[in-house]
Chain A
Amino acid sequence: MTAASPGIALRRAWAERPGIASALTTVDHKRIGRRYLATAMAFFAVGGVEALLIRVQLARPEERLLRPEAYDQIFTMHGLTMIFLFVTPLLSGFGNFVIPLMLGARDMAFPRVNALSYWVYLAAGLFMYTGLLIGRAPDAGWFSYAPLSGPDFTPGVNTDFYGLGLIFLGISTTAGAINIIVTTLKLRAPGMSIDRIPLFVWAWLATALAIVFAIPALTTAALMLELERLYGFHFFDTAAGGDPVLWQHLFWIFGHPDVYIIFLPAVGIVSTVIPVFSGRPMVVHNWVVMSTLLTGLLGFGVWVHHMFAVGLPQLSITFFAAASLIIAVPSGIQVFAWIATMLTGRPRLATPMLYAVGFIVVFVVGGITGVMFAAIPFDQQVTDSYFVVAHFHYVLFGGAVFPILAGLHHWWPKITGRLTHERAGAVSFWLVFAGFNVTFFPMHISGLLGMPRRVYTYPRGMGWDALNLISTLGAVVLAAGLLVVLATLVWSLRAGPEAGPDPWGADTLEWAAQSPPEPYNFTRIPVVRSANPLWDPPLPHVDDPLAGGHRTPETSLGEGDPQRILRMPEESWLPLCMALSLAVVFTGLITTTTVVIVLGGLLVGLVVAGWARPGAQEAPA
């Protein structure tokens, strides 16, 4: 390649020295992305073990393996882990790794904030798990309804790990979302006007916008809960003029958009995989973009459908039922767009495509039961039963884990430079697909037969015994499938064939970089002429990197016209120090030790000052 000399100069400007110091100070979006993926996978394993404990406990009636108190902690931590510590961070891992590459940028807009997001995620995850290690994990369910979660009915530190942990984690999620939004709006390669943004990036943009407006509801609710629990305030306590329904509103104003925060990036993976493995651009690309954005928006208008059984006025719940029906429309548009893309293309059933197609099947089932809940009388019948558990596992496991496994196999060659074993991939898919359905489909029936959720055991002779045993056997198959996935990936790392830059013949810019990509991503910043840049005829070769040194171009919001060259920050200790200082604050809060809170606050202030100090960031380039 004749571009050797700019490549060497870029490598000098971007390479981070190997070693422990560099591991703690890195701001490279690819290293941070890999960390997100690995950490989230570890939490997935822990959450999976919790799920298996639940299934073993429920395999037969009157089981006494777990005491009720332990069961409450396990199922609460299972929900919290999967939703907050696995799915969203894992999708953030893909976002971190892939988005700058897809956009043709050299890094995220705020590399140090990116590092901060990761460290805070790790710290908050460990903070929440401290509760389990000392046997005092949150035990009031993942939505911790007041008044159960209040100081009277759940004394002790358990629920404080929930309230404070979620506030802590929200910092990471929000910072990450803002980073993704600004990166998408300002760091796109020249020529990437908004109609040429890849679908995965669109999906993450819609998600990030939803995060910016949804996480505050969770933070506000958790703040009120903790003020009530730790400092004797009254928000949800009826005796002092409060109202527990207020918690439910705030929680679900966050909680329903969060379903789409989980689901949209996963859908973005599917919209990436299907065109690549169908060998053609997405049918009705712009409609899929609009559906994604509309879903993110409508997600804020349906929260009350989680509260149909509360006793709210008929008129208002009818409104929310209608809104919940409407939200099926954009999802339907996407499903038909995927099917049309496959029908009009030449589908190749490689592992990522298998998981993507499996997702469509499972997601349609979850979507249908979702629409059923919009029928208020039906919802009131099955609320709090295993039917709901079945529904949300079809939507969350089906709607997020299948796409995640598609994305993992799809981008694995880019991340590691090695291919995975196709036959093993197919075996893992069929095990996961079968195990998933055998686990969760019977729950629809046990729910309709009246089995309530969150019970640690059940009496014999309710007609639930066989169904629960089937679910447990399915969980074993599912776990086996996931172990095959793990084995496939480990084998690929050790013995997988070299992938080369573009093993799939894909259309988006990450496949123009090396596998794994150089620290600076691209020797020459690509210039984009369509929504499928790698399928365009190549441009004449130019040696000029467009942005040399430790820099990346900034482009305009709409058209992607070049505006200026941004100087990017070097490695830094500040993100780690900030996360540790915040951990001090939250340790002080959970132990209600004012000295520690003040000390942590001072540390945070110091780090903020060090961060904002006009130095490298502000000095003339």
Chain B
Amino acid sequence: MTASAVRAPALTREPGWYAMLLVIATEATVFALLLAAYFFLQFTHEGAWPPPPAEVPRLLTPVLMTVLLTGSSIPAYLADRGARRGRMERVGVLLGATAVLGIAFLVLQVVEYREKLDVFTPRTDAYGSAFYTVTGLHGAHVAFGVAALLFVLAFTALGRYSARRHLAIEVVTLYWHFVHVVWLFVFASLYLSPHL
């Protein structure tokens, strides 16, 4: 047994954390393929992109959404670090802050959908299908992430996690970072690239 093998248990990741990393890898592949499909449809399409009646997307709301989700990764990171260092007292607040920012993101997404659905729907054409499938699937991931954050928040408040036992917090915050990073790709592909 080498010295590195007897590090404090809190500093080595548990098997469950590696499993979440692999779940993220497989889900990230789904998003990568959906975005690849989006560009495939764009490049095989003749004429204006996005095709009418859709217009080049306005950026104000999605930029705000990007700011919210990027901001939410900070308390998520601090919550994970706090739990791993055994500072459980701050973890609840940090998880709550992450969830609130996530909820705000979802509210803005609903606002955006209400505007867009008047112009085009998933059944209008391939662009509409791709747009709503990608953003909808991502939104579902945010919603699931918020539910998971609230779930671990509740058990944090009940004092059920400790410096030694808090795998759920590590796993949920890791998942949240993934949801954030995927959004950056969604934002760049669906909202920014049509402006190029």
Give chain A's interface residues, CB within 8 Å of chain B. 109-110, 113, 174, 177-179, 181-182, 185-187, 212-213, 215-217, 219-220, 223-224, 227-228, 231-235, 237, 240-243, 245-246, 249-250, 253, 554, 556, 559, 561-564, 566, 605, 609, 612-614, 617-620
- Does A213 lie within 8 Å of B133, measured CB to CB? no
- CB within 8 Å of A: which of B97-148? 122-130, 133, 147-148
Q: List 8 A-B contacts (CB under 8 A).
A: A178-B22, A181-B22, A182-B15, A212-B22, A213-B25, A240-B125, A561-B1, A562-B5
- Does B33 lie within 8 Å of A240, measured CB to CB? no
Chain B contacts for A614, CB-based, 8 A = 155, 160-161, 165, 168
- Does A241 lie within 8 Å of B18, measured CB to CB? no
Alpha-carbon distance A174/B22, docked complex (angstroms): 9
**Contact A235/B37 with A241-B51, A618-B161 known, Cβ cut-off 8 Å:** yes
Residue in A182, A186, A232, A250 whose CB lies within 8 Å of B33? A250
Chain A contacts for B40, CB-based, 8 A = 243, 246, 249
Alpha-carbon distance A556/B130, docked complex (angstroms): 43
- Does B168 lie within 8 Å of A618, measured CB to CB? yes
The 4 closest A-B pairs by CB, nearest first: A241-B126, A561-B5, A216-B29, A233-B129
- Does B127 lie within 8 Å of A109, measured CB to CB? no
Q: What residue in chain A is nearest B166 (Cβ atoms)? A: A618
Alpha-carbon distance A556/B27, docked complex (angstroms): 26
Chain B contacts for A185, CB-based, 8 A = 18
Alpha-carbon distance A234/B44, docked complex (angstroms): 14
Rounded to whole Å, the gap between the CB of A356 and the closest CB of chain B is 31
Rounded to whole Å, the gap between the CB of A577 and the closest CB of chain B is 18
- Does B27 lie within 8 Å of A612, measured CB to CB? no
Question: Is B23 located at the chain interface by the 8 A CB criterion?
Answer: yes
Alpha-carbon distance A187/B15, docked complex (angstroms): 9
Chain A contacts for B45, CB-based, 8 A = 241
Rounded to whole Å, the gap between the CB of B27 and the closest CB of chain A is 7
- CB within 8 Å of A: which of B137-186? 147-148, 151, 155, 160-162, 164-168
Chain A contacts for B194, CB-based, 8 A = none
Q: What residue in chain B is nearest A240 (Cβ atoms)? A: B125
The A contact surface, by secondary structure, is: helix
Q: A178-B22, A237-B126, A242-B129 are in contact. List 6 more A-B contacts (CB 8 A).
A: A110-B16, A234-B126, A240-B126, A253-B33, A564-B9, A564-B12
**Contact A233/B133 with A243-B40, A249-B40 known, Cβ cut-off 8 Å:** yes
Question: Is B63 located at the chain interface by the 8 A CB criterion?
Answer: no
- Does B165 lie within 8 Å of A620, measured CB to CB? yes
- Does A619 lie within 8 Å of B33, measured CB to CB? no
Q: What residue in chain A is nearest B133 (Cβ atoms)? A: A227
- Does B167 lie within 8 Å of A618, measured CB to CB? yes
A-B pairs under 8 A by CB, number:
132
Rounded to whole Å, the gap between the CB of B9 and the closest CB of chain A is 6
Question: Is B189 located at the chain interface by the 8 A CB criterion?
Answer: no
Alpha-carbon distance A232/B121, docked complex (angstroms): 10
Q: What residue in chain A is nearest B13 (Cβ atoms)? A: A186
Alpha-carbon distance A253/B37, docked complex (angstroms): 12
Alpha-carbon distance A117/B163, docked complex (angstroms): 31
- Does B129 lie within 8 Å of A234, measured CB to CB? yes
- Does B15 lie within 8 Å of A243, measured CB to CB? no
Rounded to whole Å, the gap between the CB of A57 and the closest CB of chain B is 37
Question: Is B30 located at the chain interface by the 8 A CB criterion?
Answer: yes
Question: Is B34 located at the chain interface by the 8 A CB criterion?
Answer: yes
Q: What residue in chain A is nearest B46 (Cβ atoms)? A: A241
- Does B164 lie within 8 Å of A620, measured CB to CB? yes
Rounded to whole Å, the gap between the CB of B107 and the closest CB of chain A is 21
Chain B contacts for A242, CB-based, 8 A = 41, 126, 129
Alpha-carbon distance A186/B44, docked complex (angstroms): 46
Alpha-carbon distance A267/B168, docked complex (angstroms): 37
Question: Is B26 located at the chain interface by the 8 A CB criterion?
Answer: yes
Rounded to whole Å, the gap between the CB of A620 and the closest CB of chain B is 6
Rounded to whole Å, the gap between the CB of B111 and the closest CB of chain A is 23
- Does A216 lie within 8 Å of B30, measured CB to CB? yes
Rounded to whole Å, the gap between the CB of B11 and the closest CB of chain A is 11
- Does B51 lie within 8 Å of A213, measured CB to CB? no
- Does A178 lie within 8 Å of B19, measured CB to CB? yes
Alpha-carbon distance A545/B82, docked complex (angstroms): 36
- Does A186 lie within 8 Å of B18, measured CB to CB? yes
- Does B33 lie within 8 Å of A556, measured CB to CB? no
Alpha-carbon distance A618/B25, docked complex (angstroms): 25
Alpha-carbon distance A234/B40, docked complex (angstroms): 14
- Does A562 lie within 8 Å of B30, measured CB to CB? no
